[in-house]
Structure formats: structure tokens, C-alpha cells
Amino acid sequence: MIKRTLFFSNPAYLSTKNQQLVINYPEADTPTKTIPIEDIGMVVLENQQITISNGLLSRLIQNNAAVISCDGYHLPISLLQPLVGHSEQTERMRHQLNASMPLKKNLWQQTISAKIQNQANFMDNQGIPARKMHKWVNEVKSGDTENHESRAAVYYWQHIFGIENFTRGQKEAPPNNLLNYGYAILRGITARALVSSGMLPSVGVFHRNKYNAFCLADDIMEPYRVYVDVLVNDMVQLNKDYETLTTDLKTHLLQLPVIDVVIDGNKSPLMVAMSRTTNSLYECFAGISRKVLYPVFE
């Protein structure tokens, strides 16, 4: 079932009753709304004047919903996740923590090959020459020791939006603001799926920053980044004003969890596909499989 993404940009009082999320607004003439908690996959709390009950937080977490809080600049800064996300969590974490270095290097090789392939396919889709990218897909070695990811990124960002001298960076010029927001949402989706699959989002196969609580999420989301790029490119090519991250722009980016992607030959919403990816990752950790299922951009 496709889970809903709820985005709250105005002051509101959020609580729960009868397995429903109850929304009350400060304005007396605004009617109360209710939404079944079982239908919710992600809640984005943007406004600083939102009040949410602990009972609702508990219900959302029990339902494996991702709860994302934003700062005063309206950017996602935290993700609430359950302490227990799977009935076999202890065993699954043990497999993850015991993963050998050769296995991790192989998983990273698969991840970067899939990422570059999706970037190349997106460039093909836009009529941008991508011969180098397709060549690099098959040259990625175990652990990406020759850093093809970086090499491909430089070429990709130079061409993809058609913006002269565009540089990808957290604090660089727009549309980096759109990319930052979209990737933050994608990170939340990935972390949610990893926890649901019984793994620790903080223990990565490549990323190892001790200050990063989402190393594995940052690893596994790599081949999915292209779907954020597609949404951002839509806005850039439509000549929308993207200097400021408006509610309309954020609403467009929040389509991310429900857009269709192709994984293992079948179409499914991105949030569902991500769960298939994280479950296949666990099977690699457990020695059941040797391949991570990633989407193929078409």
C-alpha cells in the first residue's frame, strides 16, 4: 500500500484518537481533520509553532512512519526513528555488524555502478552526451578505489541542468537549495526503510563519519538521488523562481516517496522500492544473496 506524506507548514495541534491522526488549527473556524495513522509513511513538521502529542509520536513510530522536524530556516534537521523496527532486529544487526570488508567493498561497488548508470540514463533522457558515464559504469572496482563516483559527479553536474558554471554543494547557489531539501527527504525515506528492515542506519558500508548518525542511509540512497535530480530539473527547465524555497517548490519535492521507479523489472512507488532495496541489503549481510536490488532509471 502507498503510504501518505503529510507536510505541515502552518501552526497546528496534532494528536491522536481512535488510531487516527487528529489535526486542529488555531483558527476557530477551521474544521478538525483526521487521517488514519496506518496510511501515513512520512510526516514533515516545518512550522515552529506545531504542537504534537507524545501519544501521536508513539503511534507514528509504532507504524514505522518517518517523522522529520525542520529548523527555523525550514530545512529538515532531525528524523525520529523507532528503537525496535523489526522482530529479528538483534540478529539482523549482528549480521550487519559482522559484515566483512570484502563484502562491504563489493556492496559499495554495486552501489556506485548503479548510481552512475542512473545518472547516465538521465543524461540520455535529456539528450546530453553520456558516453563517458556509460563507460565508467563498467570500470568501477571493488570499493571504488579509483573514485569513479567523484569523476562521474564532476561530469554530471557540469551538464545536467544546463546552468553555466553550476557547482554542486550544500552552500552553493540555487538550485542547490532544492537538491538539499530533496536529498534530506530521501535520507529520511532511506533511514525509515533500513530501520524497518532491522538494520542500523548509522553503520555504513562506505561512509564512516563518526559525527554522522545516518552513514548507511547515505550509502544506500546514492542510486536514488537521480529521482530528486529529476524533480529539481523539472522546476529548472520550467524557469520557475527557485531562489527561495517556497511551499510550492517543497510540495513538488515531497512527491518523491510516491513517484514510480523501476526495480527488479517492476514499477513501484519509490518508498516501496526502497524497502525492497534495504531488505536485499540485509540478505547480502546474511549471506543469502550477493546482489543489492537498486532501481534502474528509465
Q: Is 148 annotated as a binding residue?
A: no
CA distance 155 to 133: 8
Please give the full DSSP string across 127-160, using - where no structure is assigned: T---HHHHHHHTTPPGGGTT-HHHHHHHHHHHHT
Burial class of residue 268, CB neighbours in 10 A (0-12, 13-18, 19+): middle
Q: Give the β-pairing of 260-263 and 76-80.
A: unpaired
Residues 6+ away with beta carbon under 8 Å from 132: 152, 155
Residues 6+ away with beta carbon under 8 Å from 114: 222, 223, 292, 294, 296
Q: Is 149 annotated as a binding residue?
A: yes
Q: Is 74 annotated as a binding residue?
A: no
CA distance 19 to 39: 11
CA distance 124 to 29: 52
Residues annotated in a binding site for Mn(2+):
149, 207, 222
Residues annotated in a binding site:
149, 207, 222
